[in-house]
């Protein structure tokens, strides 16, 4: 953990992209030059859940225009970057709701939400019930 904290999220997503490319190469997957950067985008979004998503910055970082980035992203992930980020945040929240006893406010922050209210609104919109009720039902 200390080593991961020292590396920081930027290094983590670069490492994830490198590992994904190496794995694909070992498995004999085609080296499509657009696939690996999108894997890096996914790793970047996962490593930066709490960061506001600025599409123009992410697109520029990976060397694409905003329009090209949005097109490639939609083809690869079937969604817009913002909706995909929301999905990643909610997936993380589900994991924490299931596997921890953290209070909802801490789960909200750990999942990339600025506060519990925003988290609860997003969670309820997707799952039809607030996170506390979902957790209680999941625990039986």
Please report the pLDDT score of residue 88 as a whole number: 96
Fold for the domain defined by 84-139: Arc Repressor Mutant, subunit A (1.10.10)
Rounded mean pLDDT of 56-66?
93
Rounded mean pLDDT of 39-66?
92
**DSSP helix/strand/coil, 124:** helix
What's the pLDDT band for 4 if we cut at 50, 70, 90?
Answer: very low
Q: What is the rounded distance in angstroms from the CA atom of residue 53 to the CA atom of residue 64?
A: 16
* Residues 112/116/119/125 CA torsion (nearest 10 deg): 180
More confident residue, 92 or 38: 92
Please report the pLDDT score of residue 10 as a whole number: 47
Please report the pLDDT score of residue 53 as a whole number: 92
pTM above the 0.85 mark? Answer: no
Is residue 132 predicted with pLDDT exceeding 80? Answer: yes
List the domain boundaries for the chain: 2-78, 84-139
> How many degrees, rounded to 5, is the angle at CA 90 between CA 88 and CA 96?
105
């Amino acid at each position: 953990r200390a080593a991961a904290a020292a590396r920081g999220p930027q290094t983590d997503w670069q490492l994830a992209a490198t590992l994904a490319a190496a794995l694909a190469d070992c498995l004999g997957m085609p080296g499509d030059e657009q696939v690996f950067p999108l894997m890096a985008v996914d790793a970047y979004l996962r490593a930066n859940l709490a960061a506001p998503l600025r599409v123009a910055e992410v697109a520029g970082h990976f060397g694409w225009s905003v329009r090209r980035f949005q097109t490639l992203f939609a083809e690869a992930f079937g969604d817009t970057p913002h909706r995909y980020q929301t999905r990643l945040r909610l997936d993380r929240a589900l994991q924490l709701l299931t596997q921890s006893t953290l209070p909802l406010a801490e789960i909200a922050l750990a999942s990339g939400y600025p506060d519990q209210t925003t988290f609860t609104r997003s969670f309820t919109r997707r799952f039809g019930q607030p996170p506390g009720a979902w957790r209680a039902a999941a625990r039986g």
